[in-house]
Amino acid sequence: MIQAESILDVADNSGARKVLCIKVLGGTRRKYASIGDIIVVSVKEAIPNAKVKKGDVMKAVIVRTAKEVGRTDGSYIRFDTNSAVLIDNASEPIGTRIFGPVARELRAKRFMKIISLAPEVL
């Protein structure tokens, strides 16, 4: 459950380390985002000489949340941290590698490139 002003880790090698959620996309009064949702973020911490710089405003898709997500079989999945992957306007990831596991819910949201780059899909 991610909302405006939430700080997230970045799970790719785009160069950003921490991002701040500015807006949850998908409706005028939408307050919260979960796994697979697209948000607008501002880069708060980045490594030098990277693709993205501190202060850049970009889109990101949430790949891990600390709040549990219910599945259709009745089970729940949750992660230790809140993490996102930066994407471009065509919903393709900016980085070439994904770090850590990602949730299976991304497959239903058609983020196949992120699924294929991830080392583990839970």
- The mean pLDDT of 88-113, rounded to a whole number, is 93
The whole-number pLDDT of residue 34 equals 94
DSSP calls for the chain: -B-TT-EEEE-BSSSEEEEEEEEE-SSTT---B-TT-EEEEEEEEE-TT-SS-TT-EEEEEEEE-SS-EE-TTS-EE--SS-EEEEE-TTS-BSSS-B-S-B-THHHHTT-HHHHHH-S-B-
Q: Residue 102: which pLDDT band, with cuts at 50, 70 and 90?
A: very high
Q: What is the pTM of this model?
A: 0.92
Quick: pLDDT tens for 34-88. Answer: 999 999 999 999 999 999 999 999 999 999 999 999 999 999 999 999 999 999 9
